[in-house]
Amino acid sequence: MLLAALGLGAWLVLRPTPHARLLVGVDDDTLKWTADPLAVVRWQRSIDVDAVRVWVPWAGEARPQGARVTELARAEAAARQTRVVLAVFGFARSTPATARARARFCGYARAVRNAVPDARAIVVWNEANSPAYWRGTPAQYEALLARCYDELHRKGLTVLDSTASAHAPDAFLEAVGAAYRASGRTRPLVDGFGHNPYPASPGEWPDAVHRAGFVGEGDYPRLVALLRRAFGRTPQIWYLEDGYQSAVPATLERRYSGLEDVPTVTAAEQSQLLAEAIDLAGCQRDVRAFFNFELVDETRLAGWQSGLFWRGVRRKPAVAAFEHAVRRAGRHCT
């Protein structure tokens, strides 16, 4: 049944220093879509995946209903065996920009948290600096974080925000920090800062440094500095999404649909880039987690083919590189 489902569908220093073992996971919803989520957990563990981030969609509902209840029950079954991160968000049209909408969204997120009590972390919205997901202001996102933190925070659960590497995350976070200071709030907004350090171009190496307006993995010193400046404390950074799309070989094209709409790298290049990204994260002292988007390629070529497996559950070269990088993360820093 599982195979059938898959077929469908501390200040900065000049030299990096290691920290406690990096949490390495994937962003993947497969376990929501199968009646046996523990089979997915076993599969993930077989390649050294420590955690999985699961999307919980929101479109204005007061509480999870229908199929969402079943999906959350499966997420809880998985959470008893592995580290589950819940990402609760919708798209720009659903932006909770008003006080009433914020109350409704945070109440929904609290119900999600209660349905998956063994989850390790929860993300409040996704890429709030991206117009695809957020139609409000930085101050409105600050208000959402404050409201949700007060409803979600509890021992053992890490509450996270989320920003994208593009769309000026530095300016956005500065503005969120300014709103936070102006509010007079003394409690935190989050327990950790979630960021998606995708590269500026498909084959760009993870350690590439960019100018203001883009914050990739190589811009870690600038990200840490701005978080400390904006929020006045040592940050805990989670790389919640990263990935490199690999071209589909002709022998596997029948498992995919549509046409590719962005440049890709070869499977061998994906393997090298992903390993380097994990290596780099393991040497960035304030980075606590790295998640690859995703476990299995999406069927639509217009979607993402950055998985560790091709459609049909055939391994990519990236699997071996991923396993090796996970085992040595934080242990090779000089």
The answer to whether 243 and 292 have CB atoms below 8 angstroms apart is yes
Identify whether 272 is part of a domain.
Answer: yes
Percent of the chain topping pLDDT 90: 89
Residue 18's Cβ-side half-sphere holds a number of Cα atoms within 13 Å equal to 13
User: Percent of the chain at pLDDT above 70?
Assistant: 93
Read off the pLDDT of residues 161-182 as tens digits, 9 standing for 90 and up.
999 999 999 999 999 999 999 9
CATH number of the domain enclosing 244: 3.20.20.80
Min mean pLDDT across 5-19, 87-101, 224-238 is at: 5-19
> pLDDT value at position 334?
67
How much is the pLDDT for 329? Answer: 79
Query: For residue 287, what are the β-bridge partners?
Result: 237
How sure is the predictor about 146, in pLDDT bands with cuts at 50, 70 and 90?
very high
* Segment 114-129, tens digit of pLDDT: 999 999 999 999 999 9
The pLDDT of residue 92 is above 70: yes
Number of structural domains, the chain? Answer: 1
Question: Residue 6: its pLDDT value, please?
Answer: 41
Residue 211 within any structural domain of the chain: yes
φ/ψ region of 290 (left if φ > 0, alpha if ψ in -120 to 50, else beta) reads beta
User: Taking Cα atoms as reference points, which of 287, 122, 299 lies closest to residue 219?
Assistant: 287
- Residue 334 domain flag: no
| Domain assignment of residue 306, yes or no | yes
pLDDT band at 14 (very low <50, low <70, confident <90, very high): very low
pLDDT above 50 (res 154): yes
pLDDT of residue 18: 45
Examine the pLDDT at 160 and tell me if it is beyond 60: yes
**Residue 199 domain-assigned (yes or no):** yes
What pLDDT score does 10 carry? Answer: 26
pLDDT higher than threshold 50 for residue 108: yes
* pLDDT tens-digit map of 260-314: 999 999 999 999 999 999 999 999 999 999 999 999 999 999 999 999 999 988 9
- The domain of 124 spans 2-8+18-328
Whether 273 is covered by a domain: the verdict is yes
Q: Is residue 181 assigned to a domain?
A: yes
Domain membership of residue 23 (yes or no) is yes
Task: Say which residues have a Cβ less than 8 Å from residue 8's Cβ, sequence separation at least 6.
Answer: 299
Average pLDDT over every residue of 194-210:
97
